Amino acid sequence: MIKNIIFDFGEVLVNWDPRRLYVPYFGDAAKADWFLKEICPYEWNAQCDSGRLLAEVAQERVDLFPEWEKEIRMYFDRWIEMIGGEIPGSADVVREFKERGYGIYGITNWSAETFPLVRHRFPVFDLMDGMIVSGEDHVLKPNPEIYNLLLSRYGLKAEECVFIDDNPRNAAGAEAVGIRGLVFKDAAQMRADLNKIVSEE
């Protein structure tokens, strides 16, 4: 019986997109996309999500590409400009299931240094009964350890949980430890999928 719903944060509850900063800066979407692929790729940012210090990670990149120092340092100095609003309708789904008595939790790949900048900016986070932030615990999705950490920290049973993430690999990671995994498309689909799962119980 499903008793708990676990949400990813970025692109499920809130929008985060480095292009929000770099497309206006470069004035050229193609150049911004090149920069975010070759100079500051997602894999580089993921080092911060795993717990490394922003300053350390940025300096390593500056050492590799000194001609891009200004733009590299912008990534963290102006990081908040990468945040959009809430994903339309998602907070309503969280609130609805909270009011129906389900435990509400979160697992996110997010830097311990940048998450505090948004923690109190979006009320949806106040609905959480608990959360795991990868940068605080030094483990990333889809590593099974991060899902098991949530279960053990909050005394949850895998078979009583469902996890929603926009990345299929992360949903599969949850499935690997016995948690039902769903891939997020939009809030309407998420509500329909969750209602279908709980009605099957």
Residue 103 belongs to what H/E stretch?
strand 103-108
- pTM score of the predicted model: 0.96
Lookup result for tokens 């939009």: 186
Predicted local confidence at residue 76, as pLDDT: 97
89 pLDDT band, cuts 50/70/90, is: very high
Query: Average pLDDT, whole number, for the chain?
Result: 98
User: Above pLDDT 70, what percent of the chain?
Assistant: 100
pLDDT at 59 over 80: yes
- Domain extent listing, the chain: 4-15+85-199, 16-83
Q: Which CATH class is domain 4-15+85-199?
A: alpha beta
Q: Do 164 and 5 form a contact (C-beta atoms < 8 A)?
A: yes
* pLDDT value at 101 more than 90: yes
